[in-house]
Structure 1
Amino acid sequence: MSMIDTHPAVQRTPWGTGTPPDSVAPAKRRILETAIRLFYNDGIRSVGIDRLISESSVTKATFYKHYGSKDRLIVQYISQRHSLAQGIVDEIIRQHSDPRAALRGLIDQIVADVMSPGFRGCAFINAATEFTDPRHAVRQIVSEHREWYAETLSTLLNQLGHPLPGDGGDELVLARDGVMTGGYAGDPIAATTAFVRVADRVMDRSIR
């Protein structure tokens, strides 16, 4: 198996949050959007280059021109998922000046994701299960994503007056892991209901 290039330049999407903008070459944009759909729905390793090329409606030469290898596309995929998550979280926080309301908005977003059609679990947990080496570029991005998310939650809990915001942030991240996994593998209604109970208990320990 070829290793993904771990140089920082290929670990970050050049497009920022969301999907690639219109300024990106249409074929390059189409390849990444196809990868986002196929890698999430069917698994990263199970999707071959020929399928990516076919469903992106590009030639093999075009694929290699823009990405060079499937490995580089995988890194762009997981980076793009991180950027998209950051954009969603930042927008929810921006819409709520009160930290409790912002946390509630994030919880509601997680519940909505789990209950949405086509939900296949957490893209980052799914990717981590496919790349077992913690030094791998994919695992590094997954770790950074989780650290960012826990820090974001801890910051909001600190603003809310939680006595142990770091611990609370970790608890919410683990609760999110549970609802993402349980919501996909089991009953999403039971999973989201339990998740909200846990989140409420964490926030209720705050002093304001």
Structure 2
Amino acid sequence: VFSKFVPIVQFGALSAFVMVIAVVTELFITPMTLSSVRLITLWDVIGLELRDRLIKQSLLLEGLSKFQIRRLILMSHMQDAKAGEQIIREGDAGDKMYLVVDGEMSVSKDVNGKRASIATLEPGDVFGEIALVSSQPMTADVFAVTNAKLLSLDWKTLERLRRLSPFITSKLFLNISKILGNRLIETTDKMVCRI
């Protein structure tokens, strides 16, 4: 039954128009919008075993509160590594740095055809920071000695963090600078010992 009363006809047409717009939005615009938004679930938070020891030992997290660390972790990417898995290959291009959350990693380098162990990394240690800040190839191989959890940070993540939390990012960059300074001191000491 169709009404001949003009206001009712106009209201019906307007209602039909709104329903068509709602269907188009629900089927096309909402999925396109959500595909570019990273959803963080409670599962992500519960799945991460953030230990006080990690916070105290990590130079990367120095000076950050637990809330700031949680925010950094939620904006980063967690990666699981199986024992024996190679995470970084010497000479490959790299744009990430990693924080060891759990497990043990081995850093080694090929010297005259022989594998030379450089360091063993434990929870709180970082690697890949040189490639992240300099866009240089990876300087060593890194293998997981045990099953491990790694937190990876790339420039895209750091840029997003800079926009949303400039204070956290400034502390993070200061800590990365300290880590690079320590690496330089260690390298200089090793070079002096060889002379």
> Is the pair's TM-score, using the shorter chain for normalization, greater than 0.5?
no
- If you compute each CA radius of gyration, which structure gives the higher value, 1 or 2? 2
Per chain length, whose mean CA-contact separation is higher, i.e. which structure has more relative contact order (CA < 8 Å, sep 6+)?
2
TM (norm. structure 1) is 0.28
Higher helix share: 1
Q: Report the TM-score, using the length of structure 2 for normalisation.
A: 0.29
